[in-house]
Chains A and B, each alone.
Chain A
Amino acid sequence: QVKLQQSGPGLVKPSQTLSVTCVISGDDISSTTSAWNWIRQSPSRGLEWLGRTYYRSTWYNEYAVSVRSRIDIDTETSKNQFSLHLNSVTPEDTALYYCSRQQLYDDAWRPFDYWGQGTLVTVSS
């Protein structure tokens, strides 16, 4: 059974960097059939996909254009975890942040199956 456990600060000041970590159990972050995603949810923007990382002999990242200049997703394979870093945050980045897994099956990606519990991040001074 795959489990994704999130952690991160609940409050971030404007202009600072928001960081949330997702620890994976039951799967290997370096699996060539998995991708690791970040999604956020807010009343104003609904559910919004932010980006993903996956391993295919090397690490690949894909990011939403809306946050591309501010986002980084990195991995720590020794801890089987990945992290979202979003810099220069504003109150508009206040949201519930989720990590999620995507699986490759028969050469086609399936939609997100396992999700973390969510981390509410508020951007406020």
Chain B
Amino acid sequence: ETGVTQSPTHLIKTRGQQVTLRCSSQSGHNTVSWYQQALGQGPQFIFQYYREEENGRGNFPPRFSGLQFPNYSSELNVNALELDDSALYLCASSLRDSSYEQYFGPGTRLTVT
């Protein structure tokens, strides 16, 4: 059974740029959730995708957007990067019928300078 994978592991961007982060779900999982974890904080829910559609969103501005593909992998896109976007971005996969049980990937560390 393949776990959740994310890429890249680290990246550095400049304020105002755009970034795309990628996530591959655990085998058999059809739902993907994204979280932002700022330094020293607990993760904050960004949004969830099921059947290629957004299925819930946290308190994040529209410049945070996502995609889910037919193979259930997902992308998180952030436009017009701000310094406060620097964080660990975590992807979690689950089954729709048991989406309370989420399995996390290792995360992508984004630094905005």
Whether chains A and B associate is: no
What residues of chain A have their CB less than 8 Å away from a CB belonging to chain B? none
What residues of chain B have their CB less than 8 Å away from a CB belonging to chain A? none
